[in-house]
Structures are given as structure tokens and as C-alpha cells.
Amino acid sequence: MNSDGIKNHVLRLAIPAALKHFLDILQILIDMIMVGALGVGALAAVGLSMQFMMIIQAIMSLYIVGSGTLIARYIGSGRYNRASSILYMAMLFAIVCSFIIGASGWIFASDFFRLMGSGEEVIKLGTAYFQILCLGMGLIFLDALAYNALSSAGDTRSSLYIKIISACINGCLNYLFIFGHGGFDAMGVQGAAYATLCAYIFNLLVYGWILRRSNGIISFLPRGTFGELKKMIHIGIPATLERLIGSGSFLLFVGMIASCGTHALAGYQIGLRVEALAFMPGFGFAVAAMALAGQYIGAKNYDHAYMSGILSAKIAIVFMGTVGIFLVLFPEFLVSWFTKDNLTIMQASIYLRFVGIVQIPLALTFVLSGALRGAGATMVSMRITVLSLWIFRLIPSYIALKLGWGIVGIYSAMSLETLIKGWLFWRVYRKKEWLALKI
């Protein structure tokens, strides 16, 4: 296969994944827009809940990354039954984990918000929203597993079609549940949470139907071994540590921003949602790089494994760099869709201008780290991410805060760290040592 063939393969996987991610973000944005109509406190509460979900998603990496790596390799080497048995073991593990995490989140929800220094209104609203999500934690865990399994097997289109309908369901139910239309009582932020869970229920019903088909590349095969589970967890542990430490670090980072005031926190949360639109191509090509790296290595085609990551990164740079220009030039217009509060618009615009100028190194980080995870090189990715976050972001941000440089000093440290991290991933990727990693 020549470079054009690899490029077509990359695009075939990346475009549906990118569009699916766009709909993921759109669903969150719809939540934020509708919740934003309830006030700044409600907006901050839901936004902070999403930060807690980042930690939960980090725990999900324990089975998501390992199962994805193994599924891709088994698919690449033609061992489809082994790939299906990995999916089954990962499902059992996900169910157990989701029960533990959901119960813990329900019990300690208010403590999480209090720990972040939130005001009483944010604590009350955030607890109500987050506890409902905890009730459906099993849905969230299994949804992520099903999407990852199909993507690793080379099917990103099915998830896109599912998401199109799911996003419509979520948006319609938001309108009914949050504001009390169609005969329903107005439930506020709790209504947004219930709408999200209903969308997850739909996702799982369709994913279950797809994975039960016998003619699929990967299907639900109720058998597996603890040896496979052990191998999956062994790959996933560094990825989990990376994301746990990273998510915990981000919470500290958010805490520093929160100390600058409620408007700074609300502005940051809105800025994140707007910036997530720039993640759309990066996420899609990261999924493609991860799946193809695993599949080509499984087929012992190492040159194609390397080139798939390079091509994915180049295309992602073009897309994310273009979006970055819009973030720098028109932040106020983008933010005004979410709030009319002038102080919040100003704070969100400051954030978007800083992140807009580092979209190219961010694209490298997205795609190349995805390729490394697909190859099973999760330890390398963990080291880069953790060291970069602490040495170049958190410590400088804390110093900037103490020196009285405020939000501008914090965002300056954030942008510098993004630039350095992208360069580090590029250096590691070019060495090609990850291609020879044995699992």
C-alpha cells in the first residue's frame, strides 16, 4: 500500500470519528447553552461536573486503552475471535468498575464540589446534576467500551450514525426536562442529566444489536480468559495513571482559575466547550492513528504503522491550525452563543486567544499520543504528559498566581506547556522505538 492508500485509510477512519466527536461536543454545548439560561451558577456547576467526569474517564482508560490496543492487533493479524473475547472480558471489568465509581460518586458528590472551593449555589446544583450521572455510570462505561472496540476494529461509521440520533434525543429531552415543556415539570440542571442518561440508553441498545451480529468483524463473544484480562490491564495501567494524574492536575489548574473569581471559572468552562470544536479533527485523526498503528503492527507492517501516524498528524495540523485562527480573531462572537454576561465573555475570550495560538502543537500531541497508545507504548505517553503538566504548567501557573499576574499568567504557562509537550511527542515518535514494543 502506497502513501495515498494509507491516506485514504486514515481518512476513512478519521472523518466519521471526527464528526462523531463533533456531535459529542455539540451535545455538551447544547447542555451548556440551555443550562446557561438558568444562570452563571448553574453553568459553573455543570461545567465543574464535566471536570470530575474527566477523572472518571481516566479510570476508564484501565480497560479502554488496553482492550483497544489488543483488539486492533488481533484484527490486524486476522484473529477475530481473540478480539471478540477481549471485548467480553473488558465488558465484565467495566461493569464492576462502574458500580464502584457510581456508588462513590453518589456518596461524595457534594464533597467534590466543596473541595474545589465552590460557592453554596454551585455545590447544591452540581451535586444534584452529578449524582444523577452516577446513577447511570454503567451506561457511560459500556458506551465508551463499545465505541472504542468498534473503532479499534476499523468501524467508526456505525458510532457516527448512532451519535446523530442520540444527539437529537438529548437535545429534545433537554428542552422538555430542563424548562418543563410537553407536560414535564421544570427540572433545571437535573433535567439535563436525565436527558444525557436517556441518550446513553439509546446508544447501548444499538451498540448491543451491532455487537450481537455474527457477521461483524468484531462481535459479542461470551468467553475469555483472565490472562487476556491481565494483559489488557497491564497495557491500561500507565494510560490510567497518565489520565488520573493529568485529570487531578487539571483540577488543581481549574482551582487556580476558580480563585480568580466565578466569572473566570465560568469563562474557562465556556472556553473549553468552544475550544472542543477545534479538537474535532484532532480527535478523529487520533482515533485513526491509534487503530491503524495497532492493526499495522499486528500485521507486522511497521512502515505503514509509522506513516499512518505521520499522515494523520499532517492533516490534523491543517484543520486545527485553521480553527486556531478563528479562535484568536473571533472569540467574543463564539462565546456570545453561550452567555450574554460581559465579564464572562471577556474571560472566555482571553482563554480562547491563548489556546488558539497553540493548536498546531496540540494537534501533534493528540495524534502522536494516540498512535503510541495504539502501539501499546502507554508508559512513554504517561511520562511525557505527567512531567510536562507539572514542570511546565502547574508550577509556573502557581508562581504566576502568587506574583499577581492573574489569569493571563496562568494561561501563558498553559500555552507554553502545550508547545513543549507537542515537541516532546514529535521527538519520541520520530525515533520509532515504539514500533518494536512487545505486548
- Output DSSP code: residue 299: T
Q: How many residues does the chain have?
A: 439
Give the number of domains in the chain.
1
Contact 360, 324 (CB under 8 A): yes
Residue 338 has pLDDT above 80, yes or no: no
Q: What is the pLDDT of residue 217?
A: 63
Q: Which domain holds residue 36?
A: 3-436
C-alpha count within 13 angstroms, C-beta hemisphere, residue 410: 22
Give me the percent of the chain exceeding a pLDDT of 90.
Answer: 34
10, 65, 8, 73: which is closest to 301 by C-alpha? 73
Distance CA 140, CA 136 (A): 7
Residue 235: HSE in the Cβ half-sphere, 13 Å Cα cutoff: 27
d(CA 131, CA 109): 7
- E strand or H helix at 109: helix 80-115
Say what the pLDDT of residue 52 is: 80
Residue 419, all three cell numbers: 508547545
Whether this prediction's pTM lies above 0.85 is answered by no
Mean pLDDT of 390-402: 91
**pLDDT at residue 437 is higher than 80:** no
- The pLDDT tens digits for 129-184 are 999 999 999 999 999 999 998 888 888 899 999 999 999 999 999 999 998 888 88
- Cell, residue 5: 492508500
* Confidence at 9, pLDDT banded by 50, 70, 90: confident
**The pLDDT value given to residue 306:** 92
* Predicted confidence (pLDDT) at residue 367 exceeds the cutoff of 90: yes
Contact status, residue 220 vs residue 207, Cβ threshold 8 Å: no
- Give tens-digit pLDDT for 208-243: 888 877 555 666 666 767 788 888 898 989 988 888
